[in-house]
Amino acid sequence: MNTQNYRKLWIALAVVLAASFGTLLYFGKDIYRMAPPIPGRVVVADGGPVLFTGQDIRDGQNVWQSTGGQQMGTVWGHGSYQAPDWSADWLHREAEWLLDHWAAEEQAGATFASLPPETQAALKERLKRELRTNTYDPNTGDLVVSPVRARAIQAVAAHYDKLFSDDPALADLRDVYAMTPHAVPDPERRQKLAAFFFWTAWACAANRPGETVSYTQNWPPEPLIDNRPTPANVVWSVVSFVLLLAGVGALAWYHAVLRRQPEEEGPLPDQDPLLGLNPTPSMRATLKYFWVVITLLVFQMGMGAVTAHYGVEGSGFYGIPLAEWLPYAVTRTWHTQLAVFWIATAWLATGLFVAPAVSGYEPKFQRLGVNVLFAALMIIVVGSLFGTWYATRQRMGLETNFWFGHQGYEYVELGRFWQILLLVGLFLWLFLVGRALWPAFRQGGAQRHLLGLFLLSSAAIGLFYGAGLMWGRQTHLALAEYWRWWVVHLWVEGFFEVFATVVIAFLLTRMGLLQVRTATAAVLFSTTIFLSGGIIGTFHHLYFTGTPTAVLALGAVFSALEVVPLVLIGFEAYENLTLSRARPWVKAYQWPIYFFVAVAFWNLVGAGIFGFLINPPIALYYMQGLNTTPVHGHTALFGVYGMLGIGLALFCLRGLATRAEWRTGTLSFAFWSINIGLALMVLLSDLPRGLVQTWASVNTGMWYARSAELMGTDLMKTLRWLRVIGDTVFAVGVLALGWFVLGLKTGWSLIPGTQQQRALEPTEPAPAR
């Protein structure tokens, strides 16, 4: 491919980046402008008392965050799957109280359920007027509620006061929710927590000014007030289906045309090119990173097992009162935090390993920088894990909690101090990788374009984590969610994908299994196609978080385009599998390459099929916050990025000791056990539970899909216990992987007295400069 063609691909990528981020920022401004208002006061009509102030609501948001936030139940559908969605739960309880109160007025001692249908219909109309009418006055900043609604608010607040304290009457309910007694021991904090929950529920019911749709696009499903999908929800869902089919057809046509064009192929090497690699001091210093990767993976798996078991035994672990020390909110926090930590550590270590290997250049003090970064990462891991645990003890002030405790937002739970320290660490990593790669980048040629993409994706990993600093302690929830998804989506479903594609291409070209020109063109093209949907696709997380209709439309369209490139991912898996059999010496890299094959498989299944299952607005309207979400989460996050992290770690471990042959029986067992266990985990338990909940959400409402009544049924209990099968198979595989990696140090994973034939003479890296 000539320079002109590379230039066209770079221009296309630049246009996609500029247009996509311009759109994301432009409509982000609309989110700021149209977010549900936080009233200065919630007051009772006709000169009645003040129920809450705006500061109570903001402080209540901080109290919610200090309990674990999205790690204990959900708000607006985002968070964990054990306790209820607090916004949907409050809304339903308030509606039921009002209906029963009015029923008793109609007929002494009557309940709403006991009234004849025509009377029920009249009371439901009255309820709609009461809850859907927007009584916020932007001139005064007051939200005015009727005296009867004020009594309903006080009744629901009293329920939450008992729930978050230690009222014995709600002990069974707390157990179903996996909540500990005294989750919020301070009565004043509980009052502010109720203010926050009321406000989130109010935004779900109150119509936007001049519209007949609530601030949350009529989410959650709640038949009592006719919260149903909006016309925009249905129309843009249909558009997303059509665009998906059109995109798949166009890409399939392009792929068919491309396959007809002859590719320039060079001869594959007869012997392993990496046998001549002499690891530099900084490359050898990355070994401890990979030990930490496996350690954190095993720890994360353990926390996942405990978290899943809390779904059955809310306050204990097989009779051990573990929740007294490690409640559900903590184990789930650690489970998600550790996933990010060990996957990111594997990728950072791979970058540090690959950079000197590609350039043959060891910068001065590079090893020192690698060790300093390692120490910083360990401080962040230990400090943030302790902080998120200590925060749930409710012994921190709300400001201290924000800085050192639990921010309450899923995947970015660590306190602001640890966030800043991690951001500094990411830029130190970028500096170390960049200075080692720079000599190779200056050499020019086709490899320069691949290196440029590598540096671009590496810079993006640091820059977009910085979006996590864009919200403050009391930032509006809708705005905090907007920036949070900049971190989570643009990391996981954006530039991590680019980084993964580039790194795999690097490794395969370094081994001589791919031509640099072919790999560079493919990576540039696939990056452009993926980001054309992936960046604006961020909005599909924000359909119902107090955002305007334009966000729903853009999210629906571009989340469909995100899936388009994944339909051809099977070709990538087949090509990787073919490369693993290209030459006899490649057998030494069989299992790292097999993990790359697994990445392609789970990209199609987890990110593609299970992702699109919940991405259209009409699907997510009923499924948001149900167990269909962890189906996508586990198969996409672990299936794609976790498998890639393991594959990269094994590849680098192979590169650090290229002449020693491995005993791969344990590694083979680990590979199949991990993949089969992951499949069983979602197919036997998570997916069936999610579909049962979806049916309940459609028929009865979101409150019921998340309720103790449904989750306590025999069917749901059985489906939760079936999770043990997949979890056990998966856990055995993870432990086998850990045993194999430990054996590389102790020797039981190596074949004694063996040595691969050297293909090249040892080459020393260029002297430090």
**DSSP per-residue string spanning 176-220:** HHTPPTTSS--HHHHHHHHHHHHHHHHHHHSBPTTSSSBTTTTPS
CA–CA separation, 271 vs 713, rounded Å? 60
Confidence (pLDDT) at 660: 75
Confidence (pLDDT) at 388: 96
CA–CA separation, 207 vs 214, rounded Å? 4
Which residues lie below 8 Å from residue 619, measured CB to CB, with a gap of 6+? 237, 613
Nearest 5°: the CA angle 730, 736, 741 is 130
Which residues lie below 8 Å from residue 679, measured CB to CB, with a gap of 6+? 726
CA–CA separation, 623 vs 251, rounded Å? 29
Q: Report CA-CA distances (Å) from 754 to 81, 284, 645, 658.
A: 51, 22, 28, 11
Of 529, 420, 543, 422, nearest in space to 482 by CA = 543
Please spell the DSSP secondary structure of 616-629, one letter per residue: SHHHHHHHTTSTHH
Token readout for 258 is 């491309």
CA–CA separation, 113 vs 372, rounded Å? 66
- Helix runs in 567-625, H state only: 569-579, 590-602, 610-614, 617-623
Pairing of strands 41-44, 142-145: parallel
CA–CA separation, 47 vs 525, rounded Å? 65
The residue written with tokens 């550790």 in the block is 338
Confidence (pLDDT) at 590: 83
- Helix runs in 682-713, H state only: 687-699, 702-705, 708-711
pTM assigned to the model: 0.92
Confidence (pLDDT) at 134: 97
Of 450, 273, 439, 269, nearest in space to 360 by CA = 439
Mean pLDDT by 10 residues, the chain (769 residues): 72 93 94 96 94 98 96 95 95 97 87 92 96 96 97 98 96 93 96 98 96 96 96 95 87 70 58 68 94 95 92 83 92 95 91 87 94 96 96 94 96 95 94 90 77 85 88 96 92 74 77 74 82 90 94 92 72 64 73 87 88 93 94 92 91 78 92 97 96 97 95 92 94 96 89 52 40
Determine contact, residues 145/52, Cβ cutoff 8 Å: no
CA–CA separation, 156 vs 482, rounded Å? 29
